[in-house]
Amino acid sequence: MQIFALCEFHRNEHVTLTTCSTRAERLFGSLAVSYFISKPPKGACRLIVKLRVRRSRGFLTGLWSPLLPWGDLVMMRKQLLTLKRLAERSN
């Protein structure tokens, strides 16, 4: 999360982060990630993640583009499992 800066935050609702590093934007494009908390009935909750990518038009981005969705999938899964573990530990 070091390449991101806090863009918007509403306590117990959502957090939105955007890329703050020009180096990261050259490699991956402009990124925004939002985490939304959905509260279904019976006291449970669900964390929903939305990732928005606007690819830059550089040579490196052209090489990375086919691989980025798979990398995002692996990294996002690890991140969500970590958040789940931390949330369950605090209860």
Residue 70 CB partners (closer than 8 Å, separation 6+): none
Per-residue pLDDT tens over the stretch 33-65? 899 988 877 877 888 888 888 876 767 666 767
The domains of the chain are located at 4-90
pTM assigned to the model? 0.71
CB 64 within 8 A of CB 27: yes
What pLDDT is attached to residue 90? 63
What's the mean pLDDT when you consider all of the chain? Answer: 82
